[in-house]
């Protein structure tokens, strides 16, 4: 896992060395082991390396004999198979990333990424054609941002904050994206809240020539083609598919572990990792003592004892919340409001002392239909259609209106319209929406930033093309049946790992943020309301009413305002985070 950045300028312009150095500094936490760059007349690529495979070799940029230069953030899990396929290619090291180069030369820019099995964001600059490719994996596991420069050209980086700190763009807000983020919790499509910075979309490749984007290619998701076979054959295929995915996700030259929640996804991973590993798997879990939310540590401990993993338990306290929130806001440069960022950040800080790689269950719910909303999507016609995200978080508050947060649903409505044109079942429609919006721009964003802040690589075996292809072959009733989502996985676990209690009611993972905010409501109302980022969108009396509220919806809105106020101080006003949220707000 690494950080990448660069400048792709029109002919005659020379990349600034100061900007390149600022990229390296901003992305050092993503790759503290090594750094490299390559400079051309009008283009430059920068790389900071977290060494995972071929620790001593694998320095980037990588270069092919024909003059293609490559910087990669990610892991290509089928690199062994690709290297065997291209045995005549003169590989210079054992890096997984180098396998991209012969694939590009054989298949060309439009289709070569379809053969990559992994998580990645990369820039490939073909010096012979003066043409660059910016590409991102089909799920959007790894981030990639870009912006058009005022004087012409394109700048790109693994994190939006690297573009902000370079001075290439002013620190301004996109009001439409801000409204979407506050109302929905994240933004979709290519826009971010930070002004002119955009995302390369999941599965997208941008082609840049002479400083301009001249083409875009997009990988299509697999078609829904249910196969008619027996349940036993589905179960056997599920096990073989997941086992293969875990096997390649364990390809590493450094120690690895697992974030263990006690849920079905991490239980599945722990079983398969244990069977693939010679040593006990290192597992990590976190909970919330003395609060009203469900604590998963007992479930995780039961699984850890069963598999005799090397287990670490952590507690996330109210003190942690107030101390770590500014640093979590700093990592969330691409604004989203997932409360699970807080415990994930602490969990990663501890795991990073032992490991460089950790596996996680992200994607299991979105591929195997684990959420309650998937069951709602299948409700009878007489109950009316189920419309996800029909109202925003602030729209749900009673007797209040928020003019500056209106119009937020425009882009999500367009996504719904595009998805509805694919003639999908109700279930596949909802899964497709989540895979295009919630998964890359909330869950995977959270995982990437919170782990990479501590130079820790996160891997997601459920988000593997072969797993997605398998779920596309399942009839809907093997995903959702009666009150159960993940039906096929539950059936497999009931036989293979009954200790996971697969038919127990899903309790979910909640962070007791509302409890902690409520205890300091009046003080927070005063501090948050006078932040310039908040004053732009909401008058004092509205902010006060929200922070003095007691119901769950109002307290969640209070969390949104608190986090945004701190985020705005860091990413728009350029303040450095301090380990005290209230002090940081008081110094506005």
Q: Tokens 């998580």 belong to which residue?
A: 119
Positive or negative, the Cα torsion across 150, 153, 159, 165? negative
Helix (H, G, I), strand (E, B) or coil at 312: strand
Report the CATH number of the 2-218 domain: 3.60.20.10
How many separate helices (H) and strands (E) can be counted in the chain? 24, 17
> Which tokens sit at 12?
């005659």
The H or E element that residue 245 is part of is helix 231-249
Q: Where are the domains of the chain?
A: 2-218, 231-388+435-500, 513-586
Lookup: tokens for 249? 């996700």
Q: Give the pairing of strands 204-209 and 131-136.
A: antiparallel
Angle at which helix 521-529 crosses helix 552-571, to 10 degrees, equals 40
C-alpha closest to that of 5 among 46, 65, 64, 66: 46
Tokens of 169: 């763009």
Say if residues 389 and 415 touch (Cβ distance below 8 Å). Answer: no
Nearest CA among 477, 374, 488 for reference residue 434: 374
Angstrom distance (rounded) from CA 7 to CA 9 = 6
Measured between alpha carbons, how far is 248 from 250 in angstroms, rounded to an integer? 5
Q: Retrieve residue 453's tokens.
A: 């802040």
- The answer to whether 550 and 518 are in contact (CB under 8 A) is yes
Instruction: Please state, in angstroms and rounded to a whole number, the distance separating the CA atoms of residues 543 and 565.
Output: 12
The pairing of strands 310-315 and 282-287 is parallel
User: Which tokens in the block code for residue 440?
Assistant: 């890359």
Give CA–CA dist 457/356, Å, rounded: 6
pLDDT of residue 32: 97
**Would you call 56 exposed, middle or buried from its count of C-beta atoms within 10 A (0-12, 13-18, 19+)?**
exposed
Q: Has domain 231-388+435-500 been given CATH number 3.40.50.620?
A: yes
Residue 113 has a pLDDT of 97
- Direct distance between the N- and C-terminal alpha carbons of the chain, in angstroms, rounded to an integer: 36
Helix (H) or strand (E) holding 560, with range, is: helix 552-571
pTM (predicted TM-score)? 0.96
């180069």: which residue's tokens? 101
Report residues of the chain scoring pLDDT below 70.
1, 588
CA distance to 326, 419, 426, per residue, from 376 (Å): 36, 18, 10
The H-or-E segment that residue 39 falls in is strand 34-39
Handedness of CA 160, 163, 169, 172 (dihedral sign): positive
Per the omega criterion (within 30 degrees of 0), is the bond before 61 cis? Answer: yes
CA distances 485 to 227, 299, 370, 517, Å, are 19, 19, 5, 33
From CA 3, how far away is CA 162, in angstroms rounded? 10
- Report how far apart, in Å, the C-alpha atoms of 520 and of each of 103, 342, 534, 544, 548 are: 57, 18, 18, 12, 9
Phi, psi of 73 (to 5 degrees): -115, 110
Nearest residue to 449 (alpha-carbon basis) of 47, 137, 159, 25: 159
Read off the pLDDT of residues 62-90 as tens digits, 9 standing for 90 and up: 999 999 999 999 999 999 999 999 999 99
State whether residue 72 is helix, strand or coil.
Answer: strand
């Amino acid at each position: 896992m690494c950080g990448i950045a660069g400048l792709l300028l029109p002919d005659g312009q020379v990349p600034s060395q100061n900007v390149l150095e600022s990229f390296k500094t901003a992305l050092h936490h993503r790759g503290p082991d090594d750094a490299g760059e390559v400079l051309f007349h009008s283009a430059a690529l920068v790389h900071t390396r977290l060494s995972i495979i071929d620790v001593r070799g694998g320095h980037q940029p990588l270069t092919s004999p024909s003059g293609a230069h490559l910087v990669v953030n990610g892991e290509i899990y089928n690199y062994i198979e690709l290297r065997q396929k291209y045995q005549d290619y003169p590989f210079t090291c054992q890096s997984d990333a180098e396998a991209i180069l012969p694939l590009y030369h054989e298949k060309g820019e439009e289709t070569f990424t379809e053969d990559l099995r992994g998580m990645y964001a990369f820039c490939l600059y073909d010096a012979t054609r003066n043409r660059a490719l910016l590409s991102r994996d089909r799920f959007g596991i790894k981030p990639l941002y870009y912006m058009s420069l005022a004087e012409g050209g394109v700048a790109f980086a693994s994190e939006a904050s690297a573009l902000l700190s370079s001075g290439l763009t002013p620190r301004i807000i996109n009001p439409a994206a801000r409204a979407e983020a506050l109302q929905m919790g994240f933004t979709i499509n290519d826009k971010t809240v930070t002004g002119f910075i955009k995302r390369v979309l999941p599965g997208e490749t941008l082609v840049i020539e002479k400083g301009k984007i001249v083409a875009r290619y997009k990988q299509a998701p697999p078609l829904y083609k249910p196969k008619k076979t027996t349940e036993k054959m589905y179960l056997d295929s599920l096990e073989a598919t997941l086992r293969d995915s875990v096997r390649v996700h364990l390809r590493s030259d450094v120690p690895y572990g697992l974030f263990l929640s006690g849920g079905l996804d991490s239980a599945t991973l722990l079983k398969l990792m244990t069977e693939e590993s010679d040593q006990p798997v290192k597992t990590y879990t976190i909970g919330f003592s003395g609060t009203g939310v469900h604590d998963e540590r007992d479930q995780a401990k039961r699984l850890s004892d069963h598999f005799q993993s090397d287990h670490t338990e952590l507690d996330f306290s109210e003190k942690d919340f107030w101390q770590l929130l500014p640093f979590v806001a700093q990592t969330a440069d691409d604004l989203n409001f997932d409360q699970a960022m807080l415990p994930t950040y602490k969990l990663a800080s501890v795991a990073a002392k032992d490991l460089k790689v950790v596996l996680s269950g992200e994607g299991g719910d979105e591929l195997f239909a684990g959420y309650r909303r998937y069951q709602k999507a299948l409700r009878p016609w007489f109950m009316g259609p189920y419309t996800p995200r029909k109202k925003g978080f602030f729209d749900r508050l009673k007797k209040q209106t928020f003019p500056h947060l209106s119009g937020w649903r425009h882009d999500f409505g367009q996504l719904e319209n595009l998805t509805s044109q694919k003639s999908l079942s109700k279930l596949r429609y909802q899964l497709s929406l989540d895979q295009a919006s919630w998964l890359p721009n909330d869950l995977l964003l959270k995982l990437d930033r919170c782990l990479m802040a501590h130079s820790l690589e996160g891997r997601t075996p459920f988000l593997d093309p072969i797993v997605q292809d398998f779920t596309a072959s399942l009839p809907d009733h093997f995903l959702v049946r009666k009150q159960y989502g993940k039906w096929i996985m539950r059936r497999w676990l009931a036989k293979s790992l009954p200790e996971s209690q697969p038919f127990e009611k899903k309790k979910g993972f909640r962070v007791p943020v509302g409890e902690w905010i409520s205890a300091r409501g009046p003080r927070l109302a005063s501090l948050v309301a006078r932040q310039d980022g908040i004053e732009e969108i909401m008058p004092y009396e509205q902010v006060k009413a929200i922070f003095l509220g007691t119901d769950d919806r109002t307290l969640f809105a209070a969390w949104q305002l608190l986090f945004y106020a701190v985020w705005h101080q860091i990413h728009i006003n350029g303040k450095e985070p301090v380990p005290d949220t209230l002090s940081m707000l008081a110094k506005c």
